[in-house]
Amino acid sequence: MSVSLVARRHGIGGNQIFTWRRLMAQGALTAAAAGEEVVPASEYRALEAQVRELHRLLGKKAMENELLREAVSRAAGPKKTAVALDLVATGWTVSAVAEAVGIARPHLSAMRHRPAPRPRGRPPLPDAELVHDIRALVADLPTYGYRRVHALLRREAEKTGREAPNPKRVYRVMKVHGLLLQRGGEHREERRHDGRVAVDLRNTRWCSDGLEIICDKGEKVRVAFALDCYNREAMGHVATTGGITAEDVQDLMLATVEHRYGWVNRVRQPIE
C-alpha cells in the first residue's frame, strides 16, 4: 500500500507519514508511545557509552580513595597530619583532605596556619679565625691533639682578653678540616717501598731487626739481630728481658763488625 493512499484514507498528510517512518527507523517508537522527546538512536548509544565511561572512572576513583585511606590508616598520628598538610599544599581543600585522611578539619586548619618553629640554640659562630689559629699551632706542633690545642688557645685568649673557644668547638673544627691526630686503630696509608733491599755483593748493606718472644710464664724476651742483605746471614744478636736500649744496639754493631772483620779500627769499605 502506498503512502499517498494511506494518507487519503486516514486524513493525514503524506509528510507526516514520512516523518514517522524516519523516526521509526531511528528507534524512536518507545519515546513516541510515551509522549517523550524523541532522541536519535546514535545519540542514545553515545550517551550510554559516556555513562559507562563515567561509571568506570567513578569506580577507579573510589578504589584510589580506599587505597589512600588504607595507607593513611597505617601511618601514625603525626605522619597522618604531615600527609594531610602536604595534600593541602598541593591545592586540595582542607575539608576534602580532612575527610579523606580521617582527621579533624579544625586541627588540620590550625596546623596549616601554625608558625614555623624557631631554631633552638644560638647561631653558629664563624670559624675562619679559629681555623687560622689552629693551623698556626698545628704547623709548629704537629703532634698536638685537640685538647692540647684547646689549652694553648685558651691560654692565648686569656693573654689577649678574648673569649676562649669551647673544647667541643675546637674538636668539631679540627675534625671538619682534617686536623685531628690519627688514631692507632684507623687505617693508615701503607708505606710504599720502590727501592731494592737485596744487593749483589757481601758487606755492601747491613740491616737490623728485632722480635719479642712471650714465654709460658708470661715473661718476655726481646731479641735484636743484624743481617747481611746479600744472603741474610745473621752476623750478631743481643737478647734481654727488658727493653732494648741504645747501648744494646751499639754492642750489636760492634759484635757484627768483629764477626765479619775481626779486631779492626776501620772497615775496608763503607757499608750502608
Quick check: is 271 in a domain? no
Task: Give 165: exposed, middle or buried? Use CB within 10 Å, 0-12, 13-18, 19+.
Answer: buried
Does 25 have pLDDT greater than 70?
A: no
Alpha helices in the chain (DSSP H): 3-10, 14-25, 29-34, 41-74, 77-89, 94-101, 105-112, 128-140, 146-160, 167-176, 246-261
The pLDDT value recorded for residue 36 is 57
The pLDDT value recorded for residue 153 is 92
Quick check: is 31 in a domain? yes
Is 94 in the same domain as 71?
yes
**pTM as predicted:** 0.32
Quick check: is 188 in a domain? no
Quick check: is 160 in a domain? yes
Quick check: is 84 in a domain? yes
Is 105 in the same domain as 60?
yes
Task: Give 87: exposed, middle or buried? Use CB within 10 Å, 0-12, 13-18, 19+.
Answer: buried
Is 62 in the same domain as 97?
yes
Quick check: is 155 in a domain? yes
The pLDDT value recorded for residue 100 is 76
Q: Residues near 242 by Cβ (< 8 Å), separated by ≥ 6?
A: 222
Q: Which domain does 59 fall in, by range?
A: 43-113
Instruction: Please give the tally of structural domains in the chain.
Output: 4
Is 153 in the same domain as 166?
yes
Does 189 have pLDDT greater than 70?
A: no
* pLDDT tens figures, 74-115: 565 667 788 888 888 888 788 877 877 778 889 888 888 888
Does 67 have pLDDT greater than 60?
A: no
Quick check: is 70 in a domain? yes
Task: Give 117: exposed, middle or buried? Use CB within 10 Å, 0-12, 13-18, 19+.
Answer: exposed
